[in-house]
Amino acid sequence: MTGHSNLLLIYTGGTIGMVEDPETGALHPIDFDHLQNEIPELKKFDCHITVESLKKPIDSSNMNLLVWIELLEIIETYYDRYDGIVIMHGSDTMAYTASAMSFLLENVNKPIIFTGSQLPIGKIRTDGKENLITAIEIATAKENGKPIVPEVAIYFEYSLYRGNRTTKISAENFEAFQSPNYPLLAEAGVHIKYNRFAIRKVDDKQLIARKDIVDNVASIKVFPGLRKDVFQAITNLSNLKGLILETFGSGNAPSDSWFAEEIQKLDKRGVVVLNITQCTGGSVMQGKYETGVHLEHAGVLSGGDMTFEAAITKIMYLLSCTELSFEEKKEYVGKNMRGEIS
């Protein structure tokens, strides 16, 4: 049901709100009036839709912490006035922003649905219309007066994914996203089928928006032949606070002595080091092979089956929690906080 609901629609930019320059063929963002003209179906919803926009809509490849803070401020300002929120966002960094919002917004108890498109809204074959219309329907759907999906999610091409379980896997297909280690929250066909077992149960608590985001983080993708000096070029950064190691298989890395020694130095410096797998599906199990055990002994934390997007934004969030000690931050890294890890 979407009747008698109030919806906040936030426009950040992205392909869904872009038009083509007739001279160069390049895409550039336009104001929201264009979307309203292209999707007259929005007027058919039996709900009141309020539109907010970033001060300067962007291509999502230009997403950064300042834009996240602006988005957090918009959500925080209007959150209590609306039954649900839909955020139009470019697909390239959508999984990063959805993951970040899932952590930085504490006590979410209503739908915050991200959506976008692979083709501009002005194109005849655009996927943007269906994505936006269904995202609005999901964001305003209630059962017994309560929202059906009270969490941060991504809707794209007939599928609703948990935001911090999602990654972009295609630059060309309409099915651009995947949730490799967690089931869909909903599937849209003739009817929208909600997988209620997969949707988070929440308490009615006051929303808290964390805006002091720490960005002193980095990632290293392990590969055969990784050199010590290359590794040190990142790990020797004086202000480094968090590091993601993307390792092989179930969390394995070279067992060279220098590798473990460098990681031990990071742990002593108070740098949170998290291990996630390069594989699309599956989980880190550091104690399974000898090439993973040495990481655990060096102080590396297991990221389980977290996506890279969830891992990097979770560390940013935890580092911003100044009330937590270094040991407490390490403890929370491996805990399920927002449904991001099995």
Q: Give me the helices (H) in the chain, please.
A: 33-38, 65-78, 94-104, 128-139, 228-235, 257-268, 290-297, 308-320, 326-333
Listed residues 177, 209, 241: the one ending a domain: 209
Q: Is residue 340 part of a domain?
A: no
Q: Please tell me which residue in 15, 93, 126, 140 is annotated as part of the active site.
A: 15
**Is 15 among the catalytic positions?**
yes
Q: Would residue 290 count as lying in a domain?
A: yes
In a domain, residue 341? The reply is no
Q: Examine the domain organization and report whether 203 and 235 are in the same domain.
A: no
Give the bridge partners for 252, in sequence order: 248
Taking the C-alpha atoms of residue 106 and residue 284, their distance in angstroms, rounded to an integer, is: 26
Block means of pLDDT (10 residues each) for the chain, 342 residues, are 78 78 69 65 82 88 95 97 95 96 97 90 76 94 94 96 95 85 96 96 92 95 96 95 95 90 93 95 80 81 96 97 94 95 94
**Could you tell me if residue 116 is inside a domain?**
yes
Domain count, the chain: 2
Q: Is residue 175 part of a domain?
A: yes
CA distance 218 to 340: 20
pTM: 0.92
Residue 339 within any structural domain of the chain: no
Residue type, 209: A
**Terminal Cα-to-Cα distance of the chain (whole angstroms):** 31
Query: Are residue 52 and residue 175 in the same domain, yes or no?
Result: yes
pLDDT of residue 205: 92
Domain boundaries, position 240: 217-333
pLDDT given at position 308: 97
Q: Residue 45: its pLDDT value, please?
A: 80
Q: Is residue 338 part of a domain?
A: no
Residues 231 and 204 in one domain: no
Please report the pLDDT score of residue 25 as a whole number: 72
